[in-house]
Amino acid sequence: MPVFHRLFHTKMNNGITIGITCGDINGIGLETVLKALLLKKAGQQFCLIIYGSTKVVAYHKNIITTENIQFFSVNTPEEAQPGRINIINCWTDNVNITLGKPTEVSGKCAYLALERAVSDLKAGSLDALVTAPIHKKAMQMAGFPFVGHTEYLTQALGGEESVMLLVSDELRVGLVSGHLPLREVPNAITLQKVFKKTLILSETLRVDFGINKPTVAVLGLNPHAGDEGAIGSEEQTILQPAIEQAREHGVLAYGPFPADSFFGSGLFRKFDAVLAMYHDQGLGPFKTLSFGEGINYTAGLSAVRTSPDHGTAYDIAGKGEADETSFIRALYLAADIARNRNDYLEMRANSLEISKRKALVNETGEDEEVLDVPEE
């Protein structure tokens, strides 16, 4: 099994502290965040911290309501309190908001907020992070050296591999290759990568989603899953061996399945998750079935990060039309996963302690009651 689970280190406390990055200030990110927190009163039981700027948050608040609402500026997550909107200012300069357009300023602000939030996440001051959408062009203009959140977080949190996992009530779809031009996809599909991604996905389902014996369906790369080599050999030379290797490691992996009929036939409902080979192969069906309600989760990292499954939606920025449903779901999924990890780690630690004490009993011949061995 993969060793990445030993890196899980969410805070062991009674409450949940969740950081929320502002994302691109020219898009709908903060609108959805504030609609969820102000109008739907989502997350009142958590300690929530927006990473951005009180001035920018106030600007976006005015898009959805004229009500006089108090924001609380804090310097550290430890100063934040549940039931109110806490804000950590990640820059002090006044910034120009240009709704509906990618700018260097909007990219820079999103970058600064992300860096500060991830720093607190790594330090253990946050139990989870929810990221509002960024715009790749704006991030490039600001000097962001990554394709997207997933790639940045994987490196920042010291992960060797991660899986971009889209989650809805009835479907989970992970990707072997993420934000790549289509022409580069075949070279990115290697036996070792498919094997690792399958293991990460299975372990994530077990630890983060609480599924005892998860099943994973692996899609083919070529049309009709290669038609036994007639339309490509990757299924026979890469995917099938990777699936067999994963099964040797205890993973209930199946496939490769033809991607064209897999979703339409409803076959996906028989599995706990699906591993797609490339971005649109997985996200096309996912967004067709779950648009507006899906969540983007980065699986395999040492910390919990979720995000709504939509982008900056520049075309409706500032119009008050953005739907907050996906953000609300991302918020609650982040909390659920943080709790699941805490429960898993606590049970695992207890099991190890029991095993050690029992081993000591067997070695010394001492009575278990004297050594105060806890009951299982």
Same domain, 79 and 215: no
> Above pLDDT 70, what percent of the chain?
89
Mean pLDDT of the 239-246 span = 98
Residue, of 332 and 353, whose pLDDT is higher: 332
Cα gap 72→146, rounded to integer Å: 32
Domain contains 373: yes
User: How many angstroms separate the CA atoms of 307 and 297, rounded?
Assistant: 6
> Which of the listed residues 245, 261, 290 is the one where a domain comes to its end?
290
Could you tell me if residue 229 is inside a domain? yes
Q: What was the pLDDT predicted at 215?
A: 98
Quote the CA–CA distance of 97 and 105 in Å, as a whole number: 8
Burial level of 204, CB count in 10 A (0-12/13-18/19+)?
A: buried
pLDDT reported for residue 42: 94
Is the Cβ–Cβ distance between 201 and 165 less than 8 Å?
yes
Residue 328 pLDDT class (50, 70, 90 cuts): very high
Q: How far is CA 343 from the centre of its chain?
A: 19
Show the beta-strand stretches assigned E in the chain. Answer: 17-21, 47-52, 72-73, 86-89, 128-131, 163-167, 172-175, 215-219, 252-257, 273-276, 295-299, 304-308
Tell me what the mean pLDDT of segment 227-253 comes to: 96
pLDDT at 116 over 60: yes
Residue 203 vs residue 353, higher pLDDT = 203
CA distance 250 to 273: 16
In-domain check, residue 4: no
- Helices 104-122 and 149-156: crossing angle, nearest 10°? 40
Q: What is the pLDDT of residue 370?
A: 36
- The pLDDT tens digits of the residues spanning 355-371 come to 555 555 556 655 444 33
Q: Which of 139, 147, 130 is nearest to 26 (CA)?
A: 139
Which residue did the predictor score with more confidence, 205 or 10? 205
Place of tokens 């099938």: 240
Whether the predicted pLDDT of 372 surpasses 50: no
CATH code of 143's domain: 3.40.718.10
Q: What is the mean pLDDT of residues 14-38?
A: 95
331, part of any domain: yes
Asked if 34 and 73 sit in the same domain, the reply is yes
**Domain assignment present for 82:** yes
Residues 219 and 274: beta-carbon distance below 8 Å: yes
Cα 150 from Cα 147, distance rounded (Å): 8
Cα–Cα distance, 65 to 61 (Å, whole number): 6
The answer, yes or no, to whether residue 354 has pLDDT greater than 60, is no
C-alpha 153, offset from chain centre: 10
Asked whether residue 31 falls in the same domain as residue 150, the answer is: yes
User: How many angstroms separate the CA atoms of 306 and 334, rounded?
Assistant: 6
For residue 3, what pLDDT is reported? 39
* Same domain assignment for residues 150 and 169: no
Q: Is 296 within the bounds of a domain? A: no
The residue-averaged pLDDT of 109-132 equals: 97
Domain match, 190 and 95 both:
no
Instruction: Say whether pLDDT at 374 is over 50.
Output: no
308 shares its domain with 284: no
pLDDT at 71 over 90: yes
Between 26 and 1, the more confident residue is: 26
Mean pLDDT, residues 132-154? 96
Mean pLDDT of all residues belonging to the chain: 90
Q: What is the pLDDT of residues 213-236, one digit of tens each?
A: 999 999 999 999 988 899 999 999
Condensed to tens digits (0 to 9), the pLDDT of residues 160-190 reads 899 999 999 999 999 999 889 999 999 999 9
Amino acid in the structure at residue 354: I
- Domain span holding position 194: 165-290
Higher pLDDT, 75 or 350: 75
Residues 317/141, Cβ–Cβ less than 8 Å: no
Same domain, 130 and 80: yes
Q: Which residue has the tokens 């992970």?
A: 174
Clarify whether residues 273 and 363 are in a common domain.
no
Please state the pTM of the whole predicted model: 0.88
Q: Please tell me the predicted confidence (pLDDT) of residue 363.
A: 60
Same domain, 50 and 18: yes
pLDDT for 66: 85
Q: What total number of domains does the chain contain?
A: 2
Same domain, yes or no, for 176 and 229? yes
Query: Degrees (nearest 5) of the Cα angle 159, 21, 174?
Result: 45
